[in-house]
Amino acid sequence: MIKGEVKIDFEWGKNVSFLALTLVIIAAFIAEIYFGLDWWGEQEKQRAESLNVSIAKVNAEISKVKSKADEALAYKDKSIEVGRLLDNHIYWSNFFNWLEKNTLNTIKFDSFTGDIKGKYSLSAKALSYSEVSWQTKAFLNDPFVKKVDVSSVNFTSSKDKTSLASNKGVSFTLNLELNPDIFKK
């Protein structure tokens, strides 16, 4: 075919119906796509709103659980502190029970000084020097005792004029060094 030999002629009357049909099909296709996308957008919007409601519920539950967890953690911390306090609690009654158990019947204590570090000074009275020695030995036989010293020993032989009782005996000061674990046993 040579250029310019064939004349193309478009017949509008013959092709208008085909053109109109094609335009209607294209318009229907575009409308279908438009309405389909619009429907899909609405569905996505509803799904997003439903998801936001679900997220809000989950966030509310998380905040409730978090507040309960904070309370539980605070309780746990308090219970740990209470446990630590109980583990380190000082029981002076344990010391006095130990002292009573390890004291001879003839020894009478007048005063007591000391602290929880394990060093104590006890003023006492005995009937004789030998009882002071026996008391010292009794203390030394106990596993809690680290050291025993007797100081300021005085013999008294006076008689109280207002009573028939005699103040005769030995006054002494007993210095003890004990294991501080005696308070925790």
Are 101 and 156 spatial neighbours (Cβ–Cβ below 8 Å)?
Answer: no
CATH topology of domain 92-183: Gyrase A; domain 2 (3.30.1360)
Domain ranges of the chain: 12-89, 92-183
- Sign of the Cα pseudo-torsion (61, 64, 68, 71, in order): positive
Q: Can you tell me the distance from the alpha carbon of 124 to that of 172, in angstroms, rounded to the nearest whole number?
A: 5
114: left (phi over 0), alpha (psi -120 to 50) or beta: left
> What are the phi and psi torsion angles at 177 (to 5°)?
-125, 115
Per-residue pLDDT of the chain (185 residues; tens, 9 = 90+): 566 666 666 666 777 888 889 999 999 999 999 999 999 999 999 999 999 999 999 999 999 999 999 999 999 999 998 888 877 767 778 888 888 999 999 999 999 898 888 899 999 999 999 999 999 999 999 998 999 999 888 888 766 555 445 568 999 999 999 888 777 66
pTM greater than 0.75: no
